[in-house]
Amino acid sequence: MSIAAAIWLVQDFMQVFSMGICIVPDLFLFSVLLLALKPGSGTGRQSALIWAAFAGGLLWDLRWTNLPGLTAAINGAAVAAACHIWHKVPAQARTVTLFVIISGCAHLLSGIIHFCFWTIPSQAAIRQLAVQQLLAVPVLVVVSLVFWRLSDKHA
Amino acid sequence: MRIAGRETRPWLHGAVSVLAGFVMLWAMTSFPVLNYRLVDMLNMALYYPETPFMQLRGIIKYSSNWVLERASLQEKVSQLELKNRAMSEALQKAGVKVPDTKDSVVTARVTLRYPEAWWQEMRIDKGSDDGITEGAAVMSEGFLIGRISRLGAKYSWVELITSSSFFIAAAIDETRDLGVINGDDRGNLRLLYIPQDRNIKRGMRVSTSLMSDLVPPGIPIGTIIGFDEPKEGFMPMRIQAGAHLTQLYAVEVFSAKRSKK
C-alpha cells in the first residue's frame, strides 16, 4: 500500500511539472493493477487494493479534476474487473501478455471516460488524450517487466 | 477482506466502490461548499511538497521564453512610455493635475486548471497573504481574463470571463455604449444589452466600465468580431478576448490600495 501511495505522489509531482503541457499517464492505476495481479495476491489483498485504488482516485479527483468520485469509481471498477478476469482465466493463461492487455485496456478506458467530461476545445482534448496514451506505453513496458520478473521469481 | 466471517469477492468490492464513487460525485456536485473545503484541504496539504516541482516548471518555462518575451516587452514599454508622455503633456496643457496611483498588481502563477471546467475557473498561487481580495480583476498581457471568486491565504480561484456565471459591465471604447460581458462555458464571449439601433462596427474595442475599486475602468477585454440575432431590442455581440485564454501560465491580479479614513 505504501508503494501505491508513493507512486500516487510521484504521479502528482509529474502532473505539477507538466501542467499545461500534457496529462501524465496513470502510474497509480498501473501500480495498483500490478500489485493486485502479481503472483501470490489473494482475494483479500485484491479487495483491499480495490479500495486503495478508490482512495487514490478520489484524491486525484480532489487535486486535478472537478468531478470528485469519477476517477475513484473508474479505478475501483478497473481493478475489480481486472481481478475478476484474472480469476476467470486458467492459471496457465495468466501471462505477461494478458497483464499488458488488461492494464492497457484499463488505462485507455479510463482516459476515454475522462475525455468525455472535458470542456477544452475538441482538437486540443484529442491531442491531450493521444499524448497521455502514448506516454503510457513506456510506463506499461516497465510495469510489464516488473510483472515478468515477479512471475519468474514466483515460478 | 471478510464480511460476516466470509471472504468477499473482488467484484463485489468493485461494485460497491463504483456506487460509492457516484454517491460521492452526487454529494460533491450537490454541496459545492463541501467540495471546495475538501479540495482546499488537499491542496494545502500538498502545497509544500509540490512547491519545488512548481518552481522547476516555472524556471524551465520562463527561461525558454525569456529572450522572446523580453524583446516584445521592451517594445511594449517604449510604446507605453511614449503614450504616457503624450497624455501627460495633454493633461498639463489642460491644467489637470495627475494624481499618484495608489494601486498595484500582484503577479501570480496558474497552479490548476481543470480540463472539465476549462472555461470556468482556475487556481493561482497567490492569496490574501499577498494582498489579493475577493472580486479583484485578473489580467493577462494587459487584458481582463476574470475575477477572484474564492480566496485562501496562499491561493485563490479565478472565475474566467468565459464562464456563464461571469457578468461584468463593459463599454465600447469608440462609442462609450455600455453593456455586460458574459461567457458561455465554451470559450465564447458576448457583449449584451447594447441597443439594436446603435452604430457599432466589427473591430471596435471593448474595455471594463466603472464598477468598483477592485475592477478599475479601462482594462481592455477584447474586440467585437460579429453580431448575433437581435433580441428584445438589443443586439448581442460576439467578442474575441484580447488575452490568449488557452495559454494562461502567469496572470496579474489588480490590488487596490484603499485609502484609510
Note the pLDDT of residue A71: 94
Indicate if the pLDDT at residue A103 is higher than 50.
Answer: yes
- Is residue B236 a contact partner of residue A7, using CB atoms and an 8 Å limit? no
Name the B residues in 124-183 with CB < 8 Å from any A CB: none
Residue B215, Cβ density class (10 Å: 0-12 exposed, 13-18 middle, ≥19 buried):
buried
Residue numbers in B near A68 (CB within 8 A): 24-25, 28, 35, 38-39
Q: What is the helix (H) or strand (E) element at residue A127, kind and residue range?
A: helix A122-154
Note the pLDDT of residue A155: 65
The ipTM is 0.87
CA distances from B255 to A72, B107, B213, B252 (A): 39, 10, 9, 9
A92 DSSP 8-state letter: G
Alpha-helical segments (H) within A18-121: 27-37, 43-64, 70-88, 96-117
Average pLDDT, whole number, for chain A?
A: 91
- Is residue B166 a contact partner of residue B183, using CB atoms and an 8 Å limit? yes
List the one residue out of B227, B17, B57, B32 whose CA is nearest residue B121. B32
- Is residue A44 a contact partner of residue B13, using CB atoms and an 8 Å limit? no
Write out pLDDT tens, residues B43-54: 889 988 998 998
Residue numbers in A near B21 (CB within 8 A): 54, 57-58, 69-70, 72-74, 76
- Is residue A24 a contact partner of residue A16, using CB atoms and an 8 Å limit? no
Q: Which three cell numbers stand for residue A32?
A: 495498483
Facing residue for B14 by CB, picked from A13, A57, A77:
A77
- Tally of CB atoms within 10 A around B103: 12
Tell me the pLDDT of chain B (261 aa) as tens digits: 555 445 568 888 989 999 999 999 999 989 988 988 899 899 889 988 998 998 888 888 777 777 777 777 878 887 887 788 778 777 777 777 666 665 688 889 898 888 888 899 999 999 999 889 999 999 988 899 999 999 988 899 999 999 999 999 999 988 889 999 999 988 899 999 999 888 888 999 999 987 777 888 888 999 999 999 888 889 999 999 999 888 888 899 988 765 443
- Tally of CB atoms within 10 A around B31: 11
Note the pLDDT of residue A19: 86
CB pairs under 8 A between A and B: 152
Compute the nearest-CA separation of A117 from chain B (Å): 6
Q: Which residues pair with B189 in a beta bridge?
A: B183, B239
**Calpha distance A74→A111 (Å, rounded):** 10
Domain extent listing, chain A:
2-18+25-154
Confidence of residue A133 (pLDDT cuts 50, 70, 90): very high
Q: Do A69 and B24 touch (CB under 8 A)?
A: yes
- Nearest residue in B to A22, CA atom: B115
| Total residues found in chain B within this entry | 261
- Tally of CB atoms within 10 A around B29: 13
Write out pLDDT tens, residues B99-132: 666 568 888 989 888 888 889 999 999 999 988 9
**Calpha distance B48→B54 (Å, rounded):** 10
Mean pLDDT score, A62-72: 91
SS3 A113: helix
Note the pLDDT of residue B100: 60
A85 and chain B in contact, CB less than 8 A: no
Q: Fill in the amino acid letter for B164.
A: S
List the one residue out of B151, B122, B147, B152 whose CA is nearest residue B137. B147
B32 and chain A in contact, CB less than 8 A: no
Facing residue for B14 by CB, picked from A18, A64, A80:
A80
Confidence of residue A62 (pLDDT cuts 50, 70, 90): very high
Residue numbers in B near A117 (CB within 8 A): 115-116
Compute the nearest-CA separation of A69 from chain B (Å): 4
